[in-house]
Amino acid sequence: MKSFSSGEVAQICDVTSRTVIRWIEAGKLKAFKLPGRGNNRVSEAQLVSFLTQNRMPVPEELMHDEDEHCVVVSNDVYLCKHARRILRDADYQTSCFSSGIEAGFEIASKRPSLIILDTESTSARPQAVFSQLKKVSEYEPNIIVFCEKGSNLASLQDSMQVLHKPLELHEFSQIIDEMSNNVV
């Protein structure tokens, strides 16, 4: 995967290199350090996510239509970590959000093909999300809802995949594979 120096990120964002370094130091932009001199590098996925979250234009060369996009709304670190890994293996670009508001901006701008809601660790209400998405013409993402056992989401099962927590990695992986093969 391609990575960018602080200077390259500065050119893309139309700011100074020092501003980019401040974003990295403040934790607003995730970066890694190269061994040796310790120069910062920002992965392409992190840069695109940062641009999108901050409502900055994403250059054409960074938009990849071949990768599917997924938005995960969860405060569960375990769920986000394993969802990212499984979705990466299925060629999804994944963004995790703990707030429904942040996720809403991402959904509106990227129109991801998959949305994952964790109703146990966030205040996300699948019924409200589903009714809002129905209002948007020609946009029908796949939706997976994680909830605690005993939750009554039976009315939504035709339009969403409902999985119960704790997360069963094998079951989740199978569903993602089916979606990737357009079976669901």
Kindly state whether residues 13 and 47 are assigned to the same domain. Answer: yes
Total domain count, the chain: 2
Kindly state whether residues 98 and 15 are assigned to the same domain. Answer: no
Kindly state whether residues 38 and 127 are assigned to the same domain. Answer: no
- Residue 68 pLDDT: 81
**DSSP, res 59:** P
Each residue's pLDDT tens digit, 102-151: 888 888 888 888 999 888 766 666 667 777 777 776 777 888 888 877 66
Kindly state whether residues 84 and 168 are assigned to the same domain. Answer: yes
Reply yes or no on whether the pLDDT at 152 is more than 80: no
Instruction: Over range 71-93, report the average pLDDT.
Output: 88
Kindly state whether residues 99 and 120 are assigned to the same domain. Answer: yes
Q: What is the mean pLDDT of the chain?
A: 82
Structural domain harbouring 162: 68-180
Reply yes or no on whether the pLDDT at 13 is more than 90: yes
Kindly state whether residues 72 and 134 are assigned to the same domain. Answer: yes
Reply yes or no on whether the pLDDT at 97 is more than 60: yes
Kindly state whether residues 119 and 151 are assigned to the same domain. Answer: yes
Question: pLDDT-based confidence at 29, cuts 50/70/90?
Answer: very high
- Given strand 3-5, what is the order of strands in its sheet? 3-5, 40-43, 32-33
Contact 105, 56 (CB under 8 A): no
Kindly state whether residues 9 and 99 are assigned to the same domain. Answer: no
CATH number, domain of 48, equals 1.10.1660.10
Kindly state whether residues 87 and 147 are assigned to the same domain. Answer: yes
Collapsing DSSP to helix, strand or coil, 51 comes out as helix
Kindly state whether residues 56 and 74 are assigned to the same domain. Answer: no
Q: Which two tokens stand for residue 118?
A: 């964790």
CATH number, domain of 149, equals 3.40.50.2300
Question: pLDDT-based confidence at 183, cuts 50/70/90?
Answer: very low
Q: Which two tokens stand for residue 18?
A: 């020092």
Q: Which two tokens stand for residue 152?
A: 């009554």
Last residue of one domain, picked from the residues 18, 43, 60: 60
- Residue 7 pLDDT: 94
Question: pLDDT-based confidence at 162, cuts 50/70/90?
Answer: confident
Q: Is 17 exposed, middle or buried (0-12, 13-18, 19+ CB in 10 A)?
A: middle
**DSSP, res 28:** S
- Cis link prior to 166 (omega < 30° from 0)? yes
Each residue's pLDDT tens digit, 35-65: 888 889 998 888 988 998 888 888 877 776 5
